[in-house]
Amino acid sequence: MSLVPHPPEPPKKPIKAPAPHEELFRQEPGGERDKASFVRAVQNFGQYNVRKRGHVDFIYLALRKMREYGVERDLTVYNLLLDIFPKEVFRPRSVIQRIFLHYPRQQECGIAVLEQMENHGVMPNKETEFLLIQIFGRKSYPMLKYLRMRLWLTRFKNINPFPVPRDLPQDPVDLAKLGLRHIEPDLSARITVYQMPLSDDLTGTEDPIQPHIVGIQSPDQQAALAHHNPARPVFVEGPFSLWLRSKCVYYHILRADLLPPEERKVEKIPEEWNLYYPMQLDLDYGRSGWDDYEFDIDEVEEGPIFAMCMAGAHDQATLAKWIQGLQETNPALAQIPVIFRLAGSTGELLTSSGLEEPPRPLCEVQEEDDDHRKQQQQGRS
Amino acid sequence: DSQKIDREGKIPDDILEKLKSLGLFGMQVPEEYGIILVGTEEQKAKYLPRLASGEHMAAFCLTEPASGSDAASIQTRATLSEDKKHYILNGSKVWITNGGLANIFTVFAKTEVVDSDGSVKDKMTAFIVERDFGGVTNGKPEDKLGIRGSNTCEVHFENTKVPVENVLGEVGGGFKVAMNILNSGRFSMGSAVAGMLKKLIELTADYACTRKQFNKRLSEFGLIQEKFALMAQKAYVMESMAYLTAGMLDQPELPDCSVEAAMVKVFSSESAWQCVSEALQILGGSGYMKDYPYERMLRDARILLIFEGTNEILRMFIALTGLQHAGRILTERIHELKRGNVTTIMETVGRRIRDSLGRTVDLGLTGNLGVVHPSLGESANKLEENVYYFGRTVENLLLRFGKTIVEEQLVLKRVANVLINLYGMVAVLSRASRSIRIGLRNHDHEILLANMFCTEAYVQNLFSLSQLDKDAPENLDEQIKKVSREILEQRTYICAHPLERTS
């Protein structure tokens, strides 16, 4: 819950009363919303009234408007906002003032500014400290929050064991590569771009004819696929969503079901494998109960996953192209039947109007046997 | 191209030119340390700009054929000429780095010095000698086992005229100059070796994660994992030690960190040799081939244990400096004990009884006001215990041996080993605490490495300290000395052949 109080709900009248000082943030015709205009708006407030009446409301409004102007990660802008407070007025001057929270609304406002800094990961500096001391004094709550930010923000900087870079790449192929690396961080896995996005000039860049297809597979998975029994089918499942900061990408996986226990082959260690020491001791008993750490209640055995991909479109045609691309490195895939299990809905659950759209799963189950049909399709498309 | 340099035995000129243009010649090479440390203003102004720009190279000439570690027995002489304006230098130096390429030499020679009481003695003096002074010749570059790119050769001085202004420091003060130079150049080895080990870990990890034997990757075998853990641990410890020493040296009073530098050098050189050997072992046969850099790194790492003061000599230095410092403090107490001061006797007796009953030592590292992070608390406790028992043991040793401890090298070796381990523990604990407090990435990995090293070092220290007790059964010194005496008498292995019969 942010400390910034939301503006009161508009009454049922058709005309909404504007927030105080909102006209300062009104966009001029032809001007874009950027740091310079934000700074100008803030400075205009100072020129409006020398006594700075209503500065608390103005600061709350400015905090809300920061995101539109794109300055929420800028430390100088926050220092500018803190500068709006009149300086020596709010410092407690006697013991009694110190006991009771002196000027509570203003202190809450200061804390709100610092909290928005913290939410966006902006580290305050000496100037912020100086301003806070000037405005609120050393023993105030904003100063306490500042000290805590100085301590904990440094410690939390590297706390994420799987960090996602702040500036995500705009190019969808690069984004797909980043996402796949996050799913499979093993360095021996290879990422291959099966198809680059190509758009026709006529249709424009929103609807490329060829969506990008980026796949990932590690040598272990390749070996497992080569050993897979051609009588059992493999499934292409998806799309599953992966969130990278504020972007959602979708990926598909190629997997097979677990072999039932009777069909599972136990690898027999050949008798004459190791020249130097016996790989298998000829004893009757196995691991004793005290030393057996194999069982883990959280571990559920799943079927093998052979490859993953991220594609621009989620329909069967693009995924078929992915399978064809995979066949170059995994020739065994040609003999294995591939079943496409695609869920229909690809939109995010919450649309911009704020209403939830229930997902409509369409289980398209189509069987494609042999590469004969695939080649026919290739010839056709 | 390191392979080509290794084969041909010299660094090609274009690389030297590039290094000059990068300004790397201005870095603190030990040869220049002499001038920076002890030179007067005119000497610094005359020589340092040329050295820093790379126009001229400097070489440090101390070793002679008959005196390697024993530097005070050098035979090179410098006699004052009749007009008292020049020194005539005569002698030869061996194993001089950059001897063939250098233009400026820091030469140590014996000069006659008249003492304050009139007696004439031979003392060592340092001179800055330029090749243009005449009479300076050098032999051919030596063919070495490792660091073959560096030019090492003999340098001969025949009646070289050295002006009196070129004396470094004062006449007769060469010993101190040499000691200072050697002490300051030592600890940079720690960071250099740590960098090399990191690169080694990268290369080897690539290989271990891709090569498969018995259907398993090499990285899944326990013995290989142990080697990697060892390399990571040693690299971490030596880096922490080097940076701790560097931080201490940066303090404004320029403290004398020669002991710490020596400890860094000993630890880094030994770990380098061990870790490069293990890395070569991970690669198996390919590590042995010249196509891979491992055998070259092994050969280069071997010299680390020898130059800049052999490890044995440095162990003696570490132990003796420490003992001298401790001895001074102890002399007071021994005098009091001898005089029969009752309170001191009661204190000592009480402390011995409490020690024998087993006590926990708290020197203030852990707990509420502790400086060490709680996750390293156990290791800090181990360190405190070790420090306390080490103090007790040193006291006992000084009481038993006194001044004659200088001859007991095996005892001093154990003392030095304990000291190096303690310094390593301190460095590692402080670095790990700091990285948790600041929040550097992968700080939990650092905690693991720190705790591992502290546990190992604790156990080793306990063993060494138990060996130092009087008549300890773990102490094999007597047996070692006896065996070596019998062997060296006959200069051969003396046991009878197993197949010999008496009948």
Average per-residue pLDDT for chain B: 84
* pLDDT of A350 strictly over 60: no
Tell me what pLDDT residue B21 has.
Answer: 56
Q: Please give, one letter per residue, the 3-state secondary structure of A190-243.
A: EEEEEECCECCCCCCCCCCCECCEEEEECHHHHHHHHCCCCCCCEEEEEEEEEE
Instruction: Name the residue ranges covered by the structural domains of chain B.
Output: 2-171, 179-303, 311-472
Pairwise pLDDT comparison (A334 vs A261), residue with the higher score:
A334
* pLDDT of A366 strictly over 50: no
| Interface probe, candidates A123, A150, A152, A155, chain B, greatest B C-beta count within 10 A | A155
- Reported as a pLDDT band with limits 50, 70 and 90, residue B34 is low
* pLDDT of B278 strictly over 70: yes
Chain A to chain B, count of Cβ pairs less than 8 Å apart? 19
* pLDDT of B204 strictly over 90: yes
Mean pLDDT within B445-468: 94
- Reported as a pLDDT band with limits 50, 70 and 90, residue A354 is very low
* pLDDT of A99 strictly over 70: yes
Q: Please list every residue in chain B whose beta carbon sits closer than 8 Å to the beta carbon of residue A157.
A: 439
Q: Which two tokens stand for residue A329?
A: 């490195």
Closest CA relative to residue B227, chosen from B273, B267, B269, B282:
B282
Burial level of B120, CB count in 10 A (0-12/13-18/19+)?
Answer: exposed
Tell me what pLDDT residue B275 has.
Answer: 93
Tell me what pLDDT residue A362 has.
Answer: 36
Q: Summarize pLDDT for B238-257 with one digit per residue, the tens.
A: 999 999 998 888 888 877 88
Peptide bond into A219 cis (omega under 30): no
Alpha helix stretches (DSSP H) within chain A: 35-48, 55-69, 75-83, 95-99, 104-119, 126-136, 141-156, 172-183, 219-226, 316-329, 370-380
| Interface probe, candidates A151, A158, A186, A220, chain B, greatest B C-beta count within 10 A | A158
Q: Do A159 and B439 touch (CB under 8 A)?
A: yes
Contact (Cβ atoms closer than 8 angstroms) between residue A149 and residue A129: no
Mean pLDDT within A13-32: 63
Domain B311-472 has CATH 1.20.1440.130: no
Tell me what pLDDT residue A378 has.
Answer: 46
Cβ-nearest to A157 among B209, B437, B439 = B439
Average per-residue pLDDT for chain A: 79
SS3 B418: helix
Q: What is the DSSP letter of A347?
A: S
Residue B40, CA distances (Å) to A26, B85, B180, B183, B330 in order: 71, 18, 16, 20, 40
Residue B358, CA distances (Å) to A63, B353, B354, B459 in order: 64, 9, 7, 17
Q: What share of chain A is helix, strand, coil (3-state, %, to 5)?
A: 40, 15, 50
Mean pLDDT within A246-268: 84
| Cα gap B454→B449, rounded to integer Å | 9
Q: What is the ipTM of this complex?
A: 0.73
Dihedral sign for Cα atoms in the order A120, A124, A129, A135: negative
Residue A188 in contact with partner chain B when CB distance is under 8 A: yes
The CATH number corresponding to B2-171 among 2.40.110.10, 3.40.50.300, 1.10.3720.10, 3.40.50.720 equals: 2.40.110.10
Q: Summarize pLDDT for A220-253 with one digit per residue, the tens.
A: 899 889 888 888 899 998 789 899 888 899 999 9
B 180-209 near A (Cβ less than 8 A): 209
Q: What percent of chain A has pLDDT over 70?
A: 81
Q: What is the CA radius of gyration of chain A?
A: 31
- Reported as a pLDDT band with limits 50, 70 and 90, residue B457 is very high
Cβ-nearest to B439 among A155, A273, A274 = A155
| Cα gap B112→B471, rounded to integer Å | 48
Pairwise pLDDT comparison (B66 vs A207), residue with the higher score:
B66
User: What stretch of H or E contains A341?
Assistant: strand A338-342
* pLDDT of B305 strictly over 60: yes
Chain A residue nearest residue B437, CA to CA? A155
| Cα gap B303→B145, rounded to integer Å | 8
* pLDDT of A199 strictly over 90: no
What lies within 8 Å, CB to CB, of B136 at 6+ separation is B105, B129, B155, B156, B157, B160
User: Which residues of B are known to be catalytic?
Assistant: 308
* pLDDT of A5 strictly over 90: no
What lies within 8 Å, CB to CB, of A132 at 6+ separation is A82, A110, A140, A142, A143, A146
Q: Summarize pLDDT for A24-59 with one digit per residue, the tens.
A: 776 665 567 778 888 888 888 878 777 777 888 888
Looking at the complex, report in whole angstroms how far the Cα of residue A158 sits from the nearest Cα belonging to chain B: 5
| Cα gap B187→B247, rounded to integer Å | 11
Tell me what pLDDT residue A195 has.
Answer: 78
* pLDDT of A373 strictly over 60: no
**pTM for this entry:** 0.82
Q: Please list every residue in chain A whose beta carbon sits closer than 8 Å to the beta carbon of residue B443.
A: 158
Q: Summarize pLDDT for B331-387 with one digit per residue, the tens.
A: 887 777 777 778 878 888 888 888 877 777 777 777 766 778 888 888 998 999 899
| Cα gap A339→A308, rounded to integer Å | 15
Pairwise pLDDT comparison (A125 vs B369), residue with the higher score:
A125
Give all strands of the β-sheet with A305-311 in edge-to-edge order. Answer: A190-195, A213-217, A305-311, A247-256, A234-244, A338-342, A367-368
- Reported as a pLDDT band with limits 50, 70 and 90, residue B223 is very high
Tell me what pLDDT residue A296 has.
Answer: 84
The reply to whether B311-472 shares the fold of B179-303 is: yes
| Cα gap B159→B402, rounded to integer Å | 47
| Cα gap A330→B394, rounded to integer Å | 69
| Cα gap B127→B163, rounded to integer Å | 9
Architecture of domain B179-303: Up-down Bundle (1.20)
Tell me what pLDDT residue B26 has.
Answer: 46
The helix-helix angle for B222-249 and B409-438 (nearest 10°) equals: 90
- Reported as a pLDDT band with limits 50, 70 and 90, residue B20 is low
| Cα gap B124→B72, rounded to integer Å | 7
- Reported as a pLDDT band with limits 50, 70 and 90, residue A377 is very low
Q: Which two tokens stand for residue A89?
A: 């007025």
A72-86, A100-114, A266-280, B221-235: range with highest mean pLDDT: B221-235
Between strands B152-163 and B86-97, the pairing is antiparallel
| Cα gap B333→B409, rounded to integer Å | 26
Chain CA centroid to CA B82, Å: 43
Tell me what pLDDT residue B17 has.
Answer: 64
Q: Summarize pLDDT for B71-101 with one digit per residue, the tens.
A: 778 888 888 888 888 888 888 888 888 777 8
Cβ-nearest to A154 among B209, B210, B439 = B439
Contact (Cβ atoms closer than 8 angstroms) between residue A215 and residue A305: no
Mean pLDDT within B306-314: 86
A270-284, B218-232, B356-370, B386-400: range with highest mean pLDDT: B218-232
Tell me what pLDDT residue B9 has.
Answer: 59
First and final C-alpha spacing in chain B? 64
Q: Please list every residue in chain A whose beta carbon sits closer than 8 Å to the beta carbon of residue B442.
A: 158
Q: Do A159 and B214 touch (CB under 8 A)?
A: no
Q: What is the DSSP letter of A308?
A: E
| Cα gap A259→A226, rounded to integer Å | 15
**Phi, psi of A210, rounded to the nearest 5 degrees:** -110, 105
| Cα gap A245→A242, rounded to integer Å | 10
Cβ-nearest to B439 among A156, A187, A274 = A156
Chain A residue nearest residue B436, CA to CA? A155
Q: Please list every residue in chain B whose beta carbon sits closer than 8 Å to the beta carbon of residue A188.
A: 209-210
Q: Do B214 and A155 touch (CB under 8 A)?
A: no
Q: Please list every residue in chain B whose beta carbon sits closer than 8 Å to the beta carbon of residue A276.
A: none
User: What stretch of H or E contains B425?
Assistant: helix B409-438
